[in-house]
Amino acid sequence: MSHLLAICHCVSAFHPGAGVSVSHLDLPVQREKGSDLPMMQGSGFKGALRAVARGVLEKDVLNQVFGPEPEAAHEHAGAARFTDLRLLLFPVKSLKGIFTWISSPAVLARFQRELSFFGFKGLKDFEELRNSFDNLSDEDALVTSSCKILLDDKLVLEEFAFNARKEDALGKVAEEIAGLVFPQEPFFKDLLAHNLVIVSDTVMASFAEFSMEVVTRIKINPETGTVDTKTGALWNEENLPAESVLYGFVLTESAPKGLSAKKVAETVKKLAGLHQFGGNATVGRGLVRLNFYGEELS
């Protein structure tokens, strides 16, 4: 069996929809039951990537990797298995520097744990960084030694001010994560490496709930130029904001018709690049860039 790490960078706002809701949000995003952090279910990840693969792979290879079409689903399963895409980095407005990315101890620890589960080396300086998590209060924020968005010793994210604590180990971890997210974009790689911020788990959860992008939409009748009351008027739609970063894993095994696990993994890696995931493609939502990593991280 071969394993791939998938890094999903949201180039535009992204709506992995959870269906209709009775809350103040008519169309919320998918969220983890335990943490309430936004995510994309593995079934949606697989389906979106399969749609991409239809224009790239031959039909026989497509069916071996992703499984046959529904009418032939009883014949065999696909050789690639997809986990949920979980939140790794969340973009937040900064008083200095426009915006930055935040993460939290629990989010990073889970990322490290899952890398280990699937045979990857993990973040090599994580254990050194973990020592700084013990006394991290909701008023504190860990920043790199080269952080460029501080105002004296304060960090202001949206309307909240945090006491900035510089940690050398965070710079090393941030540089490693930046290399995964922006392998070919030096400007943004440096931006993330310098300005990644670690906040408490409570603060992370709060930002991931109240700092999501919410779009109010309305359908207009083209004949009257007014609201189309027959199909519904006003609705609110929740999106992961642009620059969010998620991660997941693709587990591959030998296909029933001859493709080896390694070949299946190589085939999935060919699907890296800029794609459209989720709904609302016609209004510019769901542009994501996928990077896949395999043996080079083992």
What pLDDT, on the 0 to 100 scale, is given for residue 68?
87
Report residue 92: phi and psi, to 5°: -135, 140
Q: State the residue for tokens 């497509």.
A: 62
For the chain, residues with pLDDT lower than 50 are: none
Beta-sheet strands, E only, within 144-286: 154-157, 160-166, 197-198, 213-218, 234-239, 245-252, 273-276
> Which pLDDT does position 24 carry in this prediction?
75
Note the pLDDT tens digit of each residue in 194-203. 999 999 999 9
pLDDT at 172: 96
Phi, psi (rounded to 5 degrees) for 130 = -60, -30
129 three-state secondary structure: helix
Q: Return d(Cα 230, Cα 12) in angstroms, integer.
A: 30
Q: Which string of DSSP letters, residue by residue, matches 35-70?
A: T--BEE-HHHHHHHHHHHHTTTS-HHHHHHHH---G
The two three-digit tokens of residue 35, written as one number: 């943490």
pLDDT of residue 116: 95
Q: Is the pTM of this model over 0.85?
A: yes
* Per-domain residue ranges of the chain: 88-211
Query: Looking at residue 22, what is its pLDDT?
Result: 55
